[in-house]
Structure 1
Amino acid sequence: MTQKTYNVAVVGATGAVGQKIVKLLEEKNFPVQQLKLLSSKRSAGTTVDFKGNEITVEEATNDSFIDIDIALFSAGGAVSKQLAPEAVKRGVVVVDNTSAYRMDENVPLVVPEVNGEDLANHKGIIANPNCSTIQMVAALKPIQDAFGLKRVIVSTYQAVSGAGNQAVEELRSQAENFLNEEEINPELLPVKADKKHYPIAFNALPQIDLFQDNGYTFEEMKMINETKKIMHAPELQVTATCVRLPFFTSHAESVYIEVEQEGLTTEDLWRVLSNADGITLQDDPSEQVYPTPLSAAGKTDVFVGRVRKDLDQDNGFHMWVVSDNLLKGAAWNTVQIAERVLEKGMLLK
């Protein structure tokens, strides 16, 4: 039986995540009949290889979505706000990898292994969560299902690629300047739009996105609010501290949790994590086995290690969660959502 194929658009195809999406569509043999690559006017005209064919990137406009079945957006929130509704008007299902619609009560916010059933409620737009949220909830979900979950405290250690290609280049050039004992002139991090900029090379920046009135950054509030929405747990206690560190790929997280069930052991958590979809448990302290950003780079799973019981709180546990922020944290989760939409027959036309 011939596999049905679909017309697919990628918006933001020349960006860091867009490039990964195009690569994954090829690697995972996504059923593409026609692939349309879209970008800003500035990037239009460049070519991208897909299955041995050179595809010319076009400027994204309202009419770009005529005859498209599903569109994968990763071009910034302003673009999504402008173009996603226009795509839906033309019968397109949009999977949006920006913060534009994540907290919209009418838009499902989905990690397929965690809350894939929420896709049934989509009205044309499906939101892809924040990269740091995705990997954490993937690790929390099997624990929540097995033992209940009351509290989460997370500190993140996030790669510069989460801030885009320009941040990667800033780290690279600053590292060279530092090693050559040359002056460093930061222009981008922690946030391009903020008043001050600090060096990222050989440094740690406890600010990702802009500060909010409550003293938390927008990134931290995204993790807090998205986790509650994805896990259908508005009463869950969640707090976050998000830090940018000077490495290129993968986010790492130190996560403290309190479960509802008493008397559990580390082995109980190992058991549920080792059987969870999309999770690879790497945890053997006697052999120094644990995940790192480098070991997770280029892989689509979420890696968990350093699982241990809190010394004072009987129902408290600590764990270390690492994943490639451009793959499971962005492009791969987007493609997984698209795959699930097709499998469940959830297109608009």
Structure 2
Amino acid sequence: MNLGVLGATGVVGEEVLAILAARSFPIDELRVFASERSVGRKINTPVGEVACILPTAAAFAGLDLIIVDVEDDLAREWIPVAEAAGAVVIDNSAAFRMEPGVPLVVAEVNPKDVGARKRNIVSCPNCTTMVLLTALAPLHRITPITRMVVSTYQAVSGAGRAGIAELARQWEAGVGREVDLGQAGKHPELITSGQVWDRPIAGNVIPRAGSLASDGTTSEEAKLLHESRKILHAPELRVAATCVRVPVYVGHSMSVNVEFSGPLSAAAAVSALSSAPGVLVSDNGTGAPTALEGAGIDPVLVGRVRDDLSQANTLNLWVTGDNLRKGAALNAVQLAEIVVAE
């Protein structure tokens, strides 16, 4: 298998290379693509050190498969070029997710959709959608979900290296200032914008993740709705989401209220999730798994599973998972494995 990785020097690209090695992905030749500032830089890969090169049509020639994790505009520019060169593309960007004929796939949820593609593109969903549906799809198979209300608590690594660095700088700058920051509402000069967010993220939560639309929703919230419908083949699914950025390095977490078309008890949900691929149930459903506990591992963690006493056919649960692994890199490699097995 001749493989390319576009975006190899990013935080997700590095995870992709590590997971390829850990899973012994079959590689005959590996090419790693990056921006001009990284050209010539040698990075560790499953086949040893490889120098980064620029993406070009000629550089894509002869590749069977390319895993892409770049900004949407770059994905729109280079993925058609990779297709034209004959490669199958596994795309972590949002560029083609909602395009008809391009399957949007969570490996544990709808792997058969990979084989139904009309183009040589298979898209991965947004990291939040990915973590959430890994946990909810096993329940949807038992009793279809009709509505879900989701509050997300999203790690700064969702904004890449810049987000991680901003949180680290602000934590360090806040040492010894706990009293002042504990009264920051009286001292607006302390509430300053950073390079990534318009307010401090350290010691704070920002109740808006993604770009804001005219209807007041954010791009992250819209993705939860539209991507969930496409992945679950549930066009009537209703989703109300509030996406929040929190001072956590790695791990997206969600509080979820899920309404089903019929009865599904908490006990039955725990039983189903306990045998679901990619899911680890905490303390028989009563546990409270944290983002730290899910960071750096593959499974999505589920806890706080309980019946909603205010409404029939409804459950409350807590879901957390590594947004860089299952939320991005791991799923991309899993989809690549499915393509290889075709």
Q: Contact 1:189 / 1:200 at 8 angstroms: preserved in 2?
A: no
Matching residue of 1:232: 233
**Residue 244 (structure 2) aligns with:** 243
Gaps of at least 5 residues in structure 2 are 181-189
Change (3 A) 1:47 1:180: farther
Tell me which residue corresponds to 1:278.
Answer: 278
Report the TM-score, using the length of structure 1 for normalisation: 0.92
CA distance in 2, matches of 1:155, 1:226: 16
Partner amino acid for 1:112?
A
Residue 29 of structure 1 aligns with which residue?
24
Give the C-alpha shift of residue 214 in structure 1: 1.1
Q: Within 5 A, what are the aligned runs for 1:107-126?
A: 107-122=102-117, 123-126=119-122
Q: Are residues 177 and 312 of structure 1, via their aligned partners in 2, closer, same or farther at CA, if it must alter by over 3 Å? A: same
* Residue in 2 that maps onto 1:265: 265
**Rounded Cα–Cα distance in structure 2 between residues aligned with 1:32 and 1:313:** 52
Match for residue 318 of structure 1?
Answer: 316
- 1:187 corresponds, among 185, 194, 207, to 194
The CA RMSD over aligned residues, in Å, is 1.5
Aligned residue for 1:176? 172
Partner secondary structure for residue 269 of structure 1:
helix
Q: Find out whether 1:47 has 2:42 as its counterpart.
A: yes
Deviation, structure 1 residue 185 = 4.7
Is the 2:3–2:65 contact (alpha carbons within 8 Å) kept by the matching residues of 1? yes
In structure 2, C-alpha distance between the alignment counterparts of 1:128 and 1:340, rounded to whole Å: 13
Please state if 1:127 is matched with 2:134: no
Following superposition, the deviation at residue 121 of structure 1 comes to 1.8
CA positional deviation for 1:64: 1.6
The superposition leaves residues 304-323 of structure 1 with CA deviations (integer Å, 9 ceiling, x where unpaired) of 11000001112110000010
Tell me by how many angstroms 1:73 deviates.
Answer: 0.3
Do the aligned partners of 1:223 and 1:240 also contact (CA within 8 Å) in 2?
yes
Give 1:164 deviation, angstroms.
0.5
> Percentage identity across aligned positions?
39
SS at match of 2:249: coil
Shift of 1:63: 1.9
Aligned to 1:193: none
Q: 1:19 to 1:184 in 2, by over 3 A?
A: farther
SS in 2 for 1:56: strand
Letter of the 1:149 partner, please give it.
Answer: I
Greater than 4 Å deviation, 4+ residue runs: 182-185
Residues 176-217 of structure 1 show CA distances to partners (whole Å, capped at 9, x for unaligned) of 111144967533333xxxxxx111010000111110011100
Match runs of 1:9-88 below 5 Å? 9-51=4-46, 53-88=48-83
Residues of 1 paired with 2:337 and 2:86: CA distance? 17
Aligned to 1:144, what secondary structure does the other structure show? helix
Counterpart for residue 158 of structure 1 = 154
Is contact 2:8–2:34 with CA below 8 Å preserved after alignment? yes
Spell out, residue by residue over 1:112-171, the C-alpha distance to the aligned partner (whole angstroms, 9 max, x if none): 111111111221011110000001111111111112211111100010001100110000
Amino acid at match of 1:241: T
Task: Work out whether residues 32 and 52 of structure 2, in 8 Å CA contact, stay in contact via their aligned partners in 1.
Answer: yes
Query: In 2, are the aligned partners of 1:283 and 1:306 still within 8 Å (CA)?
Result: no
Instruction: For 2:70, give the aligned amino acid.
Output: A
C-alpha separation in 2, matches of 1:188 and 1:130: 23
Deviation at 1:290, TM superposition (A): 2.5
Does the 8 A contact of 2:57 with 2:85 survive in 1? no
Query: How far off its partner does 1:261 sit?
Result: 1.6
C-alpha distance in 1 between matches for 2:75 and 2:59:
13
Which residue identity is paired with 1:257? Answer: V
Q: Secondary structure at the match of 1:321?
A: strand
Are the counterparts in 2 of residues 189 and 199 from structure 1 also a CA contact under 8 Å?
Answer: no
Q: What's 1:194 paired with?
A: none
Q: Runs of 5+ in structure 1 lacking a partner?
A: 1-5, 191-196, 345-349
Q: Is the 8 A contact 1:112 1:337 kept in 2?
A: yes
